[in-house]
Structure 1
Amino acid sequence: MDNSYSLVILALIFCPILVRAQSFDFAYNGFNNSNIIRDGIAIINPNGALKLTNRSQNVIGHAFHPNPVPIFNSSTKNVTSFSTYFVFAIVSLEKTSGGFGFAFTLSPSPGFPGAKGAHFLGVVNSSNDGNDTNHIFMVEFDTVDGHDEGVDTGGNQIGINRNGMRHITSESADYYNNATSETKPVDLQNRESIQAWIDYDGMSKVVNVTISPIKVPKPIIPLISRDVDLSPVLKETTYAGFSAATGDKASSHYILGWSFRLNGAADPLDLEKLPVAPPEVVTSSKNSHLKRALIGTFCSVVILLLGAFYIYRRMRQHEVLEDWELDCPHRFRFRDLYKATKGFKESELIGVGGFGAVYKGVLPTNGAEVAVKKISSNSLQGIREFAAEIESLGRLRHKHLINLQGWCKNKNDLLLVYDFVPNGSLDSLLYRQKRDIVLTWEQRFNIIKGIAAGLLYLHEEWEQVVIHRDVKSSNVLIDGEMNGRLGDFGLARLYDHGKNSHTTNVVGTIGYIAPELTRTGKASTSTDVYAYGVLLLEVASGRPPIVYEPGKGALVLADWVIECLQLGNILDAVDQRLNSVYVDKEVQMILRLGLVCSHPRPEARPTMRQVMKYLNGDESLPVFEQQLSCIGSGRVDEITAKFLEVFSTDTINISHRSLSVGQTSSSSLHSGR
């Protein structure tokens, strides 16, 4: 009997621990040197303030923590408790009313494609507003009322929403005085810093929202407390972030600090060290003293201005802006990039690709590390066409892609600014290890899963279909956490979902080109899958796709793996440097999946969505032994065969320099540009 009671007591003690979800937290005391994902016109001010929008009309700004939140409790399959705390400021022009507001969001991806501004706050649009398939939870901070009412009026309220702009509940922006329990109003757009807390209890399914001025501690009584079950709203992959928008009225929306935690209170912020939102004022022209001072100094200053202008025109980094550049967001000034790369100094050179040189840079505005690709062209029209394409691709945002931060033109040079990735390219880690470091199987498996997720986003999850057309190990970059990120979109093409690609030029890299490209020249998502299959074999075996040995001809990696499979020794194809430290089932699955993805017949290849199911273990890879054994050595396409024939001597030099932004080897075919 005593033993029975003891077991009951132990169960009561440890049960809460067993059902608790994994821990997850982050904190930003200002946003300098952060890797936060930004979209739209969102920028980080030099003082560290995250500026979601400026006072331009009809603009949108987004910002997200880069890693997804494990929001579901693995035991109960319900949304776990979470708490977030942030400090914000909304600044309108002095003596004017601004708009429209911002929202804290939990969403299935770090972005809201197709979203509109004004009352939609950059989260949804008129066609998907309120759809259950949005899977969005948001707490909005409104400064303009009138959604679906036809007339805009002044607003100063906070609301809780699911999947759209209709409030579950809302309250005027007030806070409770802890001493008297009376409410006091808070003006959301008075430029002062304001604290906000959003707490969700996963057990009772209650959302609490609390605000207070910067110098007032968190009120005991929340402004809003409402029963909301978030389990049917959110998805397992959930990103936390902010969205702000303007319309015909505009304000600057700032996030000054932010913390978040699962299963506990969000960390406090260091309020003394947080940045402050600057005022927005109109310079007055009525000050007579200022007029007299300007007139008195004009004659002496004008000569200096003319001289400075002449010198500036002669400076190397001088730039003339054209109409197409002014219309493109994410544009950097040349002088900032020139300073960031120390004048494009050779010591900052980190690689040379097919379209130009790549330099490491540190932005003088916020200290962030970036990679700057300098593309030279003799055709100004070609630069304009390339810029139009980049303007679309620049909106791609995924944790397993090298994100394009922006660009700039100086004369005939187009400068592309990318995320800086410190660990170089995958091929450099596979073939040119530093200090005898060998990628573990766990690291390799994580990298190829990440690249598969990035390709799935390009093929199916973005607003248009994007064909990369140059998937290869040298275009896979490894970040500081050893995650794979696909880069170099110089050959990419995009088209609308439900339509066919009209690309008819053969481009890519020898060894990764699908056989049907040599016959039709038509790239598709299936040709990307083929190259990904070659990449799988490459990562598992530690060998390049094709090796040419004088006297032996072309040694094709896929043929060798098939030979091992036919002999019943497929594990002989595994990289010997792993010293047999790997999961047998995973390695065999990757090798077989690589063969299926790189099948000569496109109809036999899976989609990237099917590939993700195999990699995640949601589905078992079917047995393709008989089908794969019939392939033989017919994988060397016509282009590869002719290439190897022409360059059978040592006349080709393939660079192995490690890059921090997508690299195109000298074996790439660029006839399609």
Structure 2
Amino acid sequence: MAVCNPKPPLMAIFVFFLFLLHKTTSESFSFKFDFFEPDPLPIALVGDAISYGGVLLLTRRDQVGDHVVIRKNSVGRAVYLTPIHLWDRFTGNVADFITEFTFVVDSGGPVLHGDGLAFFISPVQTALNIPRNSSGGYLGLFSPENAFNPSQNQVVAVELDSFGNPWDPIPEPLAAHVGIDVNSLRSVNTTGWPINRVPRGSFGKARVVYDSKTKELSVTVSYGSKGGTTVSVSQIIDLKRVLPEWVRIGFSAATGDLVESHDIASWSFTSFLRQPESK
């Protein structure tokens, strides 16, 4: 697969603005992968996830003769290993951040396919642990036993869900959607995802931005250049009340009885955590 490496002008502007605003008073962190070399890779690949040809393949597919077979009930995660300082316990300040990634979700042909992928933020200690029985609509993020119990989970996720399950806003198979999840598989806000209206194998681009002042997490998913298909969704979330001070970030994906590929072609992340100026 060819790796897509689009120019990120909006992200560059966002990062430059934050740098000017916080350059003397911020703790900053960033990384950027235009493609994923297999070694060394500061990303943990868990479950069925692998790096192949410079791309992260989150769920399993095998070459069988002349055909590629996408496997059912496959779950995989790719987690950036360095912990991220999300908020400061002494000042109470929360980080601003932006992450962008390009991805391909390909059904392999069938009209019905599943189940989806997610960008997630979770505690350092649990980020590498895939819950048991979390294939299919659980997206490798939640176990069936606690998927809808916020007191039993600690994760914020942006899901690109290609199959409408009974707990989704539109419980119909073709109701693909982008959702924001807070400690539960039942999204707090969603919008439609046009995965079934773009050509097979299309590169999508997702942007996730958190503004600590407004506490707004905003998500944009787009296909194509100017005039292409773009959807967006946002939600007010006080991350300090939901997640611990230090977190890990990554991707999770799953297939169930229905299948599709879940590939990450590029990924960047930048955060700024305001700190008191030294006297």
TM-score between the two structures when normalised by the length of structure 2 = 0.76
SS at match of 1:253: strand
CA contact (8 A) 1:89 1:189 kept: no
Gaps of 5+ in 1: 1-15, 175-184, 265-673
Q: Is the 8 A contact 1:21 1:80 kept in 2?
A: no
- Offset of residue 237 of structure 1: 2.4
- Closer/same/farther in 2, CA of residues 20 and 227 from structure 1, 3 Å limit: farther
Give the alignment of 1:223-622 within 5 angstroms: 223-263=232-272
Secondary structure at the aligned position of 1:263 is classed as strand
Give the direction of change, closer, same or farther, for the CA distance of 1:18–1:168 in structure 2 (3 Å limit): same
**In the alignment, what sits opposite 1:141?**
160
Shift of the 163–134 alpha-carbon distance from structure 1 to 2, 3 Å rule, reads same
> Of residues 173, 176, 181 in structure 2, which corresponds to 1:153?
173
Match of 1:210 in 2: 220
| Cα-to-partner distance string for 1:295-348 (whole Å, 9 max, x where unaligned) | xxxxxxxxxxxxxxxxxxxxxxxxxxxxxxxxxxxxxxxxxxxxxxxxxxxxxx
Q: In the aligned structure 1, how far is the partner of 2:227 from the partner of 2:213?
A: 26
The alignment partner of 1:24 has SS state of strand
Quote the residue 1:509 is aligned against.
Answer: none
Q: Which one of the candidate residues 14, 32, 36 is aligned to 1:31? A: 36
- Provide the residue aligned with 1:50 in structure 2: 56
For residue 232 of structure 1, give the secondary structure of its aligned residue in structure 2: helix
Secondary structure of 1:132's counterpart equals: helix
| Residue 168, structure 1, aligned to residue 188, structure 2 | yes
* SS at structure 1 position matched to 2:27: coil
**For 1:91, which of 106, 117, 121 is the aligned residue?**
106
CA distance in 2, matches of 1:225, 1:113: 26
Structure with bigger strand share is 2
How well do the aligned residues superpose, as a CA RMSD in angstroms? 2.7
Uncovered stretches (5+) of structure 2, i.e. residues with no partner: 1-20, 61-69, 274-279
CA distance in 1, matches of 2:49, 2:177: 23
Q: Provide the rounded CA distance (Å) in 2 between the counterparts of 1:208 and 1:86.
A: 14
**% same residue:** 29
Residues 186 and 212 in structure 1, CA contact (< 8 A), matched pair in contact too: no
**2:215–2:238 contact (8 Å) kept in structure 1:** yes
Q: Aligned partner of 1:42: which letter?
A: A
Q: Aligned partners of 2:140 and 2:24: how far apart in 1?
A: 36
Q: CA deviation at 1:82?
A: 0.7
1:66 to 74, 77, 81: 81
Distance 1:252 1:44 in 2: 13
Structure with the larger RCO, 1 or 2 (CA within 8 Å, 6+ apart): 2
One-letter amino acid of the counterpart of residue 141, structure 2: V
Cα offset, 1:110, TM superposition = 2.7
Considering fraction of residues, name the structure with more helix. 1
Residue of structure 2 equivalent to 1:132: 151
Larger Rg: 1
1:114 aligned partner: 131
TM value normalised by structure 1: 0.33
Change (3 A) 1:58 1:103: same
Q: CA deviation at 1:48?
A: 0.6
Deviation per residue, 1:126-157 (Å, 9 max, x gap): 222233342200000011001448x7612321
> For residues 199 and 25 of structure 2, what CA distance do their matches in structure 1 show?
39
Q: How big is the shift at 1:64?
A: 0.5
C-alpha distance in 2 between matches for 1:20 and 1:196: 29
Alpha-carbon contact 1:86-1:259 (below 8 Å) kept: yes
SS of equivalent to 2:163: strand
C-alpha contact (below 8 Å) 1:132/1:233 kept by paired residues: no
Q: CA deviation at 1:207?
A: 1.0
| C-alpha contact (below 8 Å) 1:198/1:209 kept by paired residues | yes
- Aligned residue pairs total 236
Contact 1:36 1:66 in 2 (8 A): yes
Shift of residue 17, structure 1, vs aligned partner: 4.6
After superposition, the Cα gap between the structure-2 partners of 1:246 and 1:77, relative to the gap in structure 1 and judged at 3 Å, is same
Q: Say which SS state the counterpart of residue 137 (structure 2) adopts.
A: helix
Residue 213 of structure 1, CA deviation:
1.3
Cα offset, 1:22, TM superposition: 1.1
Structure 2 letter corresponding to 1:57: K
